[in-house]
Each structure stands twice: as structure tokens, then as C-alpha cells.
Structure 1
């Protein structure tokens, strides 16, 4: 009896020891096969130093990797914007058969997606946007029937979108925009599809009924697409065949008969007589017009003040197009109400310092002998005539607003075109925001960033509403500051001087998508550029700097990619993290900025609406210098307020 008991106890003990040992192995386990696949992927893919996986520790501790609770397999791989370059090597990621989430967005991956991605049968979310992937739509992805989110936007995919996409019945998000897909849209039957976009491809034909409930922006940029919600398709009507009752169609050459000689002579004489009469009437009309034309009236003077610098000449108010060529060469034209009293000779004698070389010319700080300091911009690539130049200057010289740098004078000759404006001692927003970030730097705090945003918006809105002028070159180096950080916009309205051969706003990162193609700036493209400026204030990143992820990604796309992953806090400048209780305002300004950088111009608010939205953020902070100015730029030149737009900042829903 005791032997039996002992034997049972031994068995029980053995079982317990075995279970404990198995439990211990599970605790200390790691996904060996997945680890090998990941190391193979990283070793075959060039990458930046941001990914440093240590082979001596568990893969579940690596950056971008998440494992299940038992650490037996990898279920999430996220490596966005880490500098991955080149093709995705086959027989690497395709071995992660338990993977649920894969994000390789915002890198420089190229080539086709490996066929073995079809092994990722448990994949729920795939984010590959913002790369340089190419080839036809990866058919292996159509076998991943559990996919909820598929994002292939902003790559170089071509060819048709296969009908097999309808196999992905669990899709909620399908983004294929900004590629080169062609052919007809398949009738995608995904009952839960709520986010869909195929804009800016080469698709044609009619939009299937199953997709017609999405907005027009989801299909824009495909010139040959038609049907709801786009314009209706033109039905094809074949040419009607002749009916049996119709008389037979006789070829024209069999119906015609030769004209007689008399008919030919009559036609020739009649034509000659008609031509003679026409010339006679024309001659008489010209003679009568010359008799009635009055003497040529003198041209009215232009509303400017000319200062002659030739020895022995005096100031005149003659038309700036008059006078000899030699005199014009020494004429500096001031606008009425000018505050300066110097001439071109004074400018030539002034000590000059280069402030910067911009997209329209080089700016100099000129200190005159009398102590006056001005900015002289030497324009380049001007293609318009002298008269066209003067007409543009006349319009720009009339613009007066606290948040617009006034144009004081100009000079035009065959070889030189100069603009004179006030010198702003505090420099530009670009220098303040992106200057040295060393230990001695004074950070730009949140209140001053808001002040700059609001005052710059007021200046641009004044240009649009009162001046009827498109700025055309909004960027942080053209936002100049006073010592109190009140901002004024400069270099406005100059695009007409350069014609269509020179792209407006040549600084990469600020241009609206439509301007890149048409080279034509509009009020709405100004709003886009201002939205980029707001993102620059929020992120502390220059729109054209290389560290925005990788080459080819601009600031709006970088922000969108981060927001889509619900990592909104990572968007904001680290210098703002020291300030408390500003999170809500930062998100509000981010929402305004994202509305401004909408890819569809009609979806962007007008600048006066942008001013109102920023002001609404600061109604409770009127003691901080953010109160509404007396010359509200949202009011027209007659003082009346245009119809109010939405006063609530638009919401930005994060999308994958």
C-alpha cells in the first residue's frame, strides 16, 4: 500500500517538475525563426543607424518589434522613416507568418513587393506609403483575406488594379493615391470600406456603383475617370446605319457635273468685283478715321515721385516712362508718402552687406552715409517690359498694413532691377527658428510662435482681401520680425515679373501640388504655403530639410504619416515640450495647418477664415498681445466683413 502511494507521489512530483521546467522554458523563450528572418532582412537592406538590432538579445526587445505575451512569435514590425533603402529582399519578411502589423512607410524602398508576402495570411494592417516601390499591383496581397488596412499611396506602382482586390472583404482602408495605376477601377465589394482614395493615378472609365459614395477628392487627378461623384460619362452613340427606305448614298464625284465656260467666267468676274469693293470700303474707313482722330493727349503722371540724380537737375513728377534713356538710368522712383530722401547715388555709396540669396534675387542691407538703413533687393530673371514692371510696382506700392513690409522705391534699367524696403532688425522667422540650437540658444516659446502665426496670417489676408494680390512666395525667410516678434510678410506679389518660364516659389516644400504642375500661383496656393509655415512653427523642422524621414517626403506628408500612426505628440518641436498646458492649443493649430495643406484647393479655407480660426484660439489671451487689430484684415477695403466661414478649427481624423 505504501509502495503504491510512493509511486503515485513520485509520478505527481515528476509531472510538477516537468510542468515547471516547460513553464520556465516558455518564459525564457524567444522567436528564433522570426529573429533569423528579421536579421536576414536587415543585413540585406541598406539602412540608417537608427536601426541597431543586437543579435545577442531577444528580438522582442528590438526597436520596432512587438511579440506575443509568450514571446513565441513577432506580431508587429514597425520601421517608419528609418532610412531603409533599395528592394525588399525575398525570403525574409515573408517568413514572419504570424505577423499582424507591418509598417515600412516613409523610407526609400524600391522595386516590387516580394511574392512571398502572400505567406503573411494573418496580416491585418500593411503600411507601405511614401516609398519608391514599383511594378504592378502585388497580386500576393490579394490573398491576404484578413487585411483591414492596405496603404500603398505615394509610390511608383503601375498597371491595373486587379479585380482580385474584391477578395479583401474585411478592408476598412484602401489608399492607392499618387501612383501610376491605369485601366478601369474594379467593382470592389468590401462592405466595411470607409476610407478609400485612388486620386492622382491614370485610371479611366466609369466609377463602379460600389465606390460612388466616396467624395470626388478620392478620384481627382484621373483625367479619364467619370461617373458619380465625378462628371457623368458621355454615352457612346454609334453612327446610324441607313434604313432600307432611305435612298442610296451616291458618291459625290458621281453627282457632280463639269461647270460650263460661261459659269467659270462669271464667277471669276464676280469675285474680282467683290474684292475691289471691299478694298475701296476699307480705304475710305481708314481715311475718315485719320481725319477724326484728335491730337494725342499727354500721358497722366504715375502716382510716384521721381528724384533726378544728374547734376543740375531738379525733382520732377513726370511720367516715369518719359525722359531720355540716360536720365532713366539714374532715376530712383519713390512711392507717394515715402519716408526716405535719398537717391541712387546715395545707394551706390552706401556700405552693403548680403542678407541672403532668395528665389527671386539677392537682398542687401544698405547703410547710407546719413545713417539710414534699408534693404535693397536685386531682382534676377525679370522677363517683363519696363511698363509692365512699373504697373506691378504701382499696385504693390499702394499696399499698407502693419503686417506687410512696405515697398518704398524701385529702380528699373535694362541691366538692373532694384526694390527698396524697410530694414527689419530682428531678422527672419527662418533664422530665429532654425538658427543655432546650441546651449546659448533662446528657444522660441509658444506665445511668440502664436503671435507670429497670427500676425503673418493677418498680413497675407490683407494682401488677398484689400490688395487683391497673391503673395506667391510664402516661406519662413520672407516672414520678417520686429523686436516684439510681431511679423510682417515681404517679397509679395512679384511672380508676374518672372513669367511662366520660372516656377514661382522655387523653394522646395512650400509649393502647393497644383503649382508644381501649372506654375500658376493663386490665393488657395498661398493658403497651402501658409499651412506649411504653420507646420514649420509647430514642428521646428524646415520644409526642405533632409531629416524629415528621407528624400522625397515633404513636411505635410511627414506630419500626416505620424498622425496616421496616432503618434501626434512626436510631431511637435522638442523645444515646446518644456511648456505646460499648451497641448490643446498646439493640436488646434495643427488642425488648422492640416486644413490649409489639403491637396484639393477648394477644400482649403480662405486666408480671412484662417485668421478668424487662429483668433478664436486666443480670445481668452488678449492680454498677451494677441488681440484683434483695429485694421482687421478679414474686412474688405470698404470696411465690411465678408460672409463668415466656419469659426471652428477643422478636425483632422488620423488615417493610416
Structure 2
């Protein structure tokens, strides 16, 4: 017995070794390996993936197999790796056992890839944050993906209606995210379906009509940004009930007619008497209030522009508002639950001066009676109803909360005639004023270190909006970058408000990306283009809106197209002529290598094709590399920690 024990033990060890070797050597079928390689080779990507042919397929980056057999590919996760263009047909469809596909936050274009509709076992599809266009595939409503539980197509450019039978064709669906697209028409009713849905979002589209009863259980935020939707849970937008015409007419007796006529006459007389009494009381109160106001209030008080552009008293605004609720100053974000020493009356009585007129409206510096200073922005051409306006401002305030490169938003006021924003006042002025102010004698030029740090602040602000919240700034320009004494704390303003305004008319040149010439809404990639123009502005000292006498580099409207001008100069190998002469006078000559490096970053940002531009986080990294020689290790660690926190705020990878 004892003599055979070592032999049995040896046999057991041998069997275990063979089993482990067989498991380690297992690999999905060659058709799946070929499908993955065809997908990778046919889809341009900015980040190299560790898909080494010498390694088993299940060890490739983002590829997950059924464990422990490793007999088939079940998941593919490639979020934010810089995939560009359309997914080649006949590639992903070879992964017939795929259950999870995540290609979110890339730059995939074209329609929703047909290949993903040929994956019968797919349970989760994450394609949000791309450039997909066209319609929501009707195949989803006809049972192409019967096991699908999670579908995310948010933040794309999808248009057209949502298929009526979408919820019927996806009976196991638990989450559906279609927000931030251009979808139109009504919501799918799907009576009796959608019972498994736990998360639903179609906000910020162009949907219309009543919200079906089976979707009314979701919060109002799931439907905001669609002015045409009505019904629960949008309590302030009930749907109109059409008359059925089915009410039966009944003949009334003569006595009843007389009684009704007498009653109506008496009621009308009573109403007239009451109205006359109320008018008399109101007239006496108004005269009394006017007399008191004339005694107590100097005639010069009120939110008044020095040039006479804006004169408004609290009485004027209250009359325009029409009710106490409409005359209320609403605080947002972290300010919503704080007690402030001022309200709308104090704000409108404050002494004010015009800070400037921008694309959104006129900004005033308001000094309150307690000495506090805020900025009041009087918006014009607002095209949003009260609810959409408030939701948009709340979202913008929340996105900026706690980030020092975004100007804090305190609150807003909304009435029929006036829409105001209240922001923190930054006394350093704007980058535009600092760069392009009077260049006469005695002016101190903006040195290179201040300029490159301003570039980094702008990039950080944009990257935070893009990565942590998936929101486009929509109006990146030097006049919206406000300076602080701390050069690393310059902050962007006027962010994420494009939803409350009508699409801007086509204006080529300036900060506007070429693809927005058809007046489409700003995108993450148009933000990067505008950021690139701002970098060129810092390098050249030239304003994008500057009018030049010569025709070189001019757009059709006569304004200088700064990227084209820089390209023409660099093409002639006169790169040194690009840089602002003030930089050399301010001692920037020693940093010429850094200037050339930042010029390369800017030119990448202003690429004509959106797909060729880097993402905003990549711009942050590249600008940091430009100044890395002068950045301490401690600063690098702080920057890296902030970026990691922003990445974590995006939530776990699907």
C-alpha cells in the first residue's frame, strides 16, 4: 500500500498538469481571432492595442472569453481608444457568442454598425459618445437582438423617429439611453412592454407628443430638453385633451332657461362690483408705494449701464414677471441650499457697469449694498421654456462645481421679458482683453509663461466638461477665459448653454469649426477646434475676428481665418513669423522650442476633419508635456490625481 502511494501521487500530479496545460493552451476558434484582427486593421485607432499575434486571443487588451475554458470570445471592451470612422462590415459579426460590446467614447461615424445587429447573444451594447448618425436601427424593433438588456446610444448624432415597436422587440431591456441626439417624432408606446426597464433617458432631442403611461414612472430629467413632449411626469406641461363631441344635447325647459339667465346676470353683476373694488384698492396701494419709493430711493439707483443700454428697476422686472414665482431669483448647484444676504430686489438696485457684450448677451458688474460683487449676464434670444432653461442652467452649474478652471454659476432669473444669469466676479479680466488691449506705451506684454498656463487652464476646463459630464462647452474663445492672480486658475465662462438658444447662423472663420457651417449644434470636436484657435491666438497675438487689409488667409466674410493664415506661413517655412513679436520683447525667445511644440498641438486641434483632432484630455496631456521641463514633480502628481478623479467620475467601464 505504502509502496504504491508515490506512484498514485505521481499520476495525479501528471493528470493535473495535463489539465492545466490544456486549459492554458485553449483558444477561441480561428474565425473569431480573424474577425478581431480584421476589425482592428480596418478601423483606424489612435492608441496602440496589445493584440500580439504570439499571445492567446483571450490575453488581448479588452478581449474577454468564457472562463475557464477560453473557448469563445464573450466580451469586447474598447472605450476611448480613439477608434475612427465606420466599423468594417463582416468583422464583429464573426463573434457569434459575444455578449457585451463597449465601443463608447470613440469617434465612430456612419450608421449604427450593421455587424452589431448580427450578434444574437448580445446582452449589452455601449456605443455612447461617438459620431454615429442616421436612424435608430429598425431591426431592433423586429427582434434582431432578443437578449439585449442594456442599450446606450447617447451623445451621438442620430436622427429620425424612435421605432414604435422598440420596446416590444427588446423584451429583456433593462436600460435604454438615447439622450443628446437629434431624434424626432413621438415616444414608443409599447403598451404592456418595457416592464423590465430600470433606466430610461431621451433628454435633449426633438421629441414631441404625449409621454406613454408605461414610461411616465421615470423622473422628469429623463425627458428634459424636448419642448414638444407633454404629460406625466412633466407636471407643468399637461397634454391638451381633445373634445370627443360625444356629449348628448338635452333640451331645457323655458323655466330652466329663465333661471339660468337670471343667475348668470346676477353673477356677472357681482363680478363687476368685485373687480371695481379690487381696482380701486390696487390703485390706492400703487400710489402709496410710489410715494414711499420716491421718498426712500434715489433716482440713480438700479441695474443701469453707464451708456444707457440697460436701465431696470425691481418694479419693472416684477411687472414683467407677472407673479411672485416668476420674479424669484433661483440659486443653483451648491448655492441652492445656502442663505444669501441678497435677493432679486437687491440685485436690481445694485450699482452696475457694463463689462462687455458677447454672443449670449450683455454682462454687468453689480456691486451689492453689502459690498459683494457678482456678474449679471442679461441673456438675449433665449428659445427655451422655463423648465428647459432651469434644467440647462442646473446642469451647467453642476458640471462646473468644484473645478477651478470653470467660473462658478450662482443662480438665474427667468420671466417672459428677462432672462438673467448670476456668476462669480473674477477681477482679472478676460484673456482677450489681456492679449488685445491697447498696445501703447506703458503696456505690460503677456509673457510666454502666462500664455502657456492660460492654454493649459482652458484645456483643463474643456476636458473636464467632456470627460466627467459628456457636455460640450459650445463657446470656447479668449473673451470667455477669465484670468485670476493664480496663473493656473484661469476659468472658462458661458459653458454648456447652447441648448437654450436657437442654432447660430452659419459664420465661417473665427472659432467656429468648419463642420458647423450648416448651423448645427456644437460638439465635443468643435470645442477642440475652438480650443486650437485659442492656442493660435496665444501664439500669434492675433484675434481670430481681426480684419486684415490683404486678402491672404481671409474667409468669405473678410475676417481673418487664423488657422489658414498660420498654415500658409508655416508652409512657406517662415514659422518664426507666426509668433507674436511681443513674446520676443517679453523674453520669450528662450522658449522658442516650447512655442513650436504648442504650435504643433494647435494645428492638430484645428484639423479640418473632426476625426483627425485629438480629444480634449489629449490636449491637456500635450500642453503639459510642452511645459514639463518647468513643472515640478509635485505639480505633475497633483495634475495626474485630478485627471484620475475626473476619469473615476465617469463611472465604471461597462
Compute the TM-score of the two structures, normalised by the length of structure 1. Answer: 0.47
Compute the TM-score of the two structures, normalised by the length of structure 2. Answer: 0.47
**Structure number with larger C-alpha Rg:** 1
